[in-house]
Structure 1
Amino acid sequence: MISKRSILYSALLSAAVFLYGPAGHAQRLSLSLEEAVSLAVKHNRSLKASGIDISIAQEQRRVARSLSLPTAGLGAQYAHYFELPVFFGFGESEAGSDKVPYGRFGGKDQFTAALSVSQPVYNPAAKPAQRQAQLAEKATRSGHAVKEIDITAAVKRTYLGILVLNERLKLQHESLERNEKALQDARSLLAQGRALRVDTLRAFTSVKNLEPDILRLNKAIDVGKLQLITLIGLDSLQEVSLTDSLLHPAATVLPQEAAVYEEARTNRPDLLQLNLNQQISEQGIALAKARRLPVVSLVGQYQLQTQAQRFKFTDASWPSASFAGAQVTVPLFSGSSNLAKIRQAKLAHEQSGIVLTDAYETLKTEVRQVVANLQETFERMQTQEQVRTTARESYTIVQYRYQKGVTSRLELTDAELALTTAQLNYLEAVYDYLSARIELDRTVGRQ
């Protein structure tokens, strides 16, 4: 008969297999570049925090709208007098005395309830505050767009960097295979007495020099994938594989500096944000000036009050009183704070104008640098492609000559090193060019 302990043990073992076995492992996530960017826009933690700023700005707009909406309040007050309330002017004063007579009467327990309503009719601060809040929300959205562009560019660069590292690793493995074959040939020729021992030592050194590079590239790929996962906003334990491959960029027309500058000036959300900040400071001036103007409101109140002895409110009278009217509030003196706020708003407006002008001038330098980098990397990529083709042809020729015994092992080793170097330089040029394209998109405000 199977015991309860055996059944419990089997159940725990099955649960452990389910949780920690192959079925319990997180599945590898396959990502294209487009999918990586899309996931980052949805799940990046920095963008989520920026999205909360937009919600905060929306709530601030509701706060500003409340300046034009009615307000209502319900208040109540209870008071217990240890002696009867005092009322002056009742009774007769003593002869020759200037004292005002008083009397005590009423209930020791008093209760008052009032409903008050106020509707602003003229509030000069309402419109500037609402306009300022609206502009602040637009500025917050522009700031969110800036972060989205930066995150998109970072994801593209990281994804591209991993692809380049994979290609470098592939080239290093190809070079290792060639050098291992060369080492085998050198050992065979040395055993036959047809080669020198120094050729074998040189081939062995070349093989061993490649092994640390391969290890370094593998670690760099792991770190790059972790950076990509962090940018996307996924769990750090999630494994990913990249589905896109590194392709040679097609021939394209390089943009002109003037066209790039105009596009950037029109589309850059950070420049739009600076423009909005200047408009916000203008509304800040109007708001500061509005605090010096009177506020007119319609007011009304409905009130119930009673007095009783020994808390007998149910047997007491509950007379009501109500009124409606207009209220005008005129600020006369506030310790010069309004003047200081007006000056402060004007200084903020002046500052925002300086910052905006400086941003436009900085953009000219940034555009020139981006266009120059794009032109330089494109030409270098074309040159390195020719060098790579030439190095491959040279290696093929030298390898054929070596097999025929016409050339030396040293010449073949040099040709192999030149081929590997040319391939790696071409990869670097492609990466630099594609990175320059990404930076161009970021500069002009493309997502």
Structure 2
Amino acid sequence: MLVNARKLFIIPLIFIGWNTVQAQEVWTLKQCTDTAQVYNKTLQINRNHISISEQREKEAKANLIPKVTANADYKYFMELPTQLMPMNALNPQAPEGQFRDLQFGVPHNINANVQLAMPLYNPQVYGVIENTKIANKLTLLQFQKSEEQVLYDITMLYYNAQILKHQLDFLESNMLNTQKLLKNMELLKKQLLAKGTDVSKVKLQTEQLNTQRENVHNKYISILNALKLNIGIPLERNITVVSEIEQRALTKNNVENILDLKIIQTQNKLLNSELSTLNKSRFLPSLNLIASYGTTGFGYDKTPNDFLKFYPIGFAGLQLTYPLFNGTVTQRKINQKKLEISNNELQAQLIGDKNKMETENALRQRTIAQQTVINTENQITLAQSIYEQTILQQKQGTATLTDVLLADNTLREAQQNYLSAVIDYLKADLELKKLAGTIKN
């Protein structure tokens, strides 16, 4: 029965007629959601995204670690480099402005060294580190969002399966009633108290109910397959849902728990951090510690003066880099980032307004559906009573077969309205939990 919104809402569903389902494993909703946490492919992909984000943060921090490289090269000069030397450098009496071309060096040159580079201060590096920290938080929120969507989909599929199971229960009951009516009409026909068309009408209704039952059963199997896919278990595994629906309604909705809003706010932090990094890289210098140690070798291969000699070389120092002008590229990036921040703030306002509107609609829908469930439940009781009375009257000869079929159709319509009201209530209540960000609880 459905009680007020603050009490436990339980709809008993008794499924007795589908033998192919009875042998299946009965899974609770919690069992489905807990299993999905481990085996759902979407959640596995998003967990990998979290690991990727963590590795990017570590990669950004690794830029502060000193970098050591080993370098070596060999050069053979077929033509030695030529330099112009003033002639008066060797002969003071030579006129000024006259030069002589000279070739210096030896044909064989070997260089080998180890170089160290370490950033002491780099605004871009520190900015990227801060950006990856925020991006990591954003990835966690996006995982929670995907987890929330998976739980929403599984819960909705589970409810749909339970409703279809309940519908099959109604159809089984209707089939029993129709079969009893058919036996009664066949007996009356033998006694010449009913026409052959009356029996045909009941047979037609029996076939229609059987076809409807087959269609509902096929929908039920399809829903179960979709449920298994979302859980992440093989389609070959035979499962079914429990025979009652338990749904605890919300007492209030807290807009601050909306994951969409948290994601937008984190994106805003990331955009502002990127803007700050651009401004710092535009005006602040970079300072690096550099060092190198190695050897330089010179060789000559003409006898009898051939030789190969090596000379050590090493240095350490600081390297300062200051941006003077880069063609306004950074300024254009800053302008773009400001527009992105403006769009982000507008999107946050839009999400807040949309959530408020959808919450009001869902609350209204749930209230209406709650009352409709109560009304249709009473209608089923009344329609069942009318049907039983009409059957009794038909046996007594005071009601026609048409009256019986109309009463039966009224009963089935009341049952369908009841199921529609139940699913409307469950959808509205589940939507409220999603809007409040509490569906996981």
Question: Once superposed, which parts of structure 1, at least 4 consecutive aligned residues long, lie more than 6 Å away?
Answer: none
Query: In the alignment, what sits opposite 2:416?
Result: 424
Query: In the alignment, what sits opposite 1:445?
Result: 437
1:22-421 to 2 correspondences below 5 Å: 30-84=26-80, 89=85, 98-106=98-106, 108-236=107-235, 238-247=236-245, 255=251, 259-260=252-253, 263=254, 265-292=255-282, 293-309=284-300, 316-421=308-413
One-letter amino acid matched to 2:368: E
Asked if the contact 1:164/1:246 (under 8 Å) is kept, the reply is no
Query: How much does 1:30 deviate?
Result: 4.6
Asked if the contact 2:67/2:116 (under 8 Å) is kept, the reply is yes
Query: How much does 1:249 deviate?
Result: 5.7
Secondary structure of 1:125 counterpart: helix
Query: How much does 1:243 deviate?
Result: 4.0
Structure 2 spans left out of the alignment, 5+ residues:
1-22
In 2, Cα distance between equivalents of 1:105 and 1:403: 125
Deviation by residue 1:155-213 (Cα, 9 ceiling, x = unmatched):
11111111211221222122122212212211221121112333222212211222221
In 2, Cα distance between equivalents of 1:249 and 1:291: 55
Asked if the contact 2:394/2:400 (under 8 Å) is kept, the reply is yes
In 2, Cα distance between equivalents of 1:74 and 1:440: 62
Secondary structure of 1:235 counterpart: coil
Deviation by residue 1:279-308 (Cα, 9 ceiling, x = unmatched):
111111111111112111222111222123
One-letter amino acid matched to 1:64: A
Cα gap change, 1:29 to 1:207, in 2 (>3 Å)? closer
Cα gap change, 1:28 to 1:170, in 2 (>3 Å)? closer
Asked if the contact 2:86/2:98 (under 8 Å) is kept, the reply is no
Asked if the contact 1:71/1:117 (under 8 Å) is kept, the reply is yes
Query: How much does 1:46 deviate?
Result: 2.1
Deviation by residue 1:224-270 (Cα, 9 ceiling, x = unmatched):
1221122122334x2331241234768x6x63xxx41xx1x222222
Deviation by residue 1:362-394 (Cα, 9 ceiling, x = unmatched):
111111111111111111111111111222222
Using the size of structure 1 for normalisation, the TM-score is 0.84
Deviation by residue 1:28-75 (Cα, 9 ceiling, x = unmatched):
665321111122222222222222222222222123223433222222
Secondary structure of 1:74 counterpart: strand
In 2, Cα distance between equivalents of 1:224 and 1:217: 10
One-letter amino acid matched to 1:306: G
In 1, Cα distance between equivalents of 2:245 and 2:230: 23
In 1, Cα distance between equivalents of 2:340 and 2:148: 28
Secondary structure of 1:303 counterpart: strand
Asked if the contact 1:111/1:306 (under 8 Å) is kept, the reply is yes
Asked if the contact 2:260/2:351 (under 8 Å) is kept, the reply is no
Give percent identity, aligned residues only: 21
In 2, Cα distance between equivalents of 1:28 and 1:399: 37
In 2, Cα distance between equivalents of 1:388 and 1:30: 28
In 1, Cα distance between equivalents of 2:353 and 2:65: 44
Cα gap change, 1:172 to 1:431, in 2 (>3 Å)? same
Query: In the alignment, what sits opposite 1:8?
Result: none
Moved more, 315-324 or 179-188: 315-324
Moved more, 114-123 or 272-281: 114-123
Cα gap change, 1:80 to 1:354, in 2 (>3 Å)? same
Secondary structure of 1:82 counterpart: coil
Structure 1 spans left out of the alignment, 5+ residues:
1-26
In 2, Cα distance between equivalents of 1:366 and 1:337: 43
In 1, Cα distance between equivalents of 2:105 and 2:365: 93
Query: In the alignment, what sits opposite 1:19?
Result: none
Secondary structure of 1:68 counterpart: coil
Cα gap change, 1:242 to 1:303, in 2 (>3 Å)? same
Asked if the contact 2:53/2:135 (under 8 Å) is kept, the reply is yes
One-letter amino acid matched to 2:240: L
Asked if the contact 2:158/2:241 (under 8 Å) is kept, the reply is no
Asked if the contact 1:65/1:130 (under 8 Å) is kept, the reply is yes
Cα gap change, 1:412 to 1:29, in 2 (>3 Å)? closer
In 2, Cα distance between equivalents of 1:165 and 1:42: 27
One-letter amino acid matched to 1:414: L
Query: How much does 1:125 deviate?
Result: 2.6
In 1, Cα distance between equivalents of 2:246 and 2:420: 12
Asked if the contact 1:398/1:412 (under 8 Å) is kept, the reply is yes
Asked if the contact 1:179/1:203 (under 8 Å) is kept, the reply is yes
In 1, Cα distance between equivalents of 2:422 and 2:156: 12
Moved more, 91-100 or 429-438: 91-100
Give the number of aligned pairs. 408
In 2, Cα distance between equivalents of 1:290 and 1:360: 33
Cα gap change, 1:29 to 1:185, in 2 (>3 Å)? closer
Using the size of structure 2 for normalisation, the TM-score is 0.85
Secondary structure of 2:99 counterpart: coil
CA RMSD of aligned residues (A): 2.6
Asked if the contact 1:297/1:326 (under 8 Å) is kept, the reply is yes
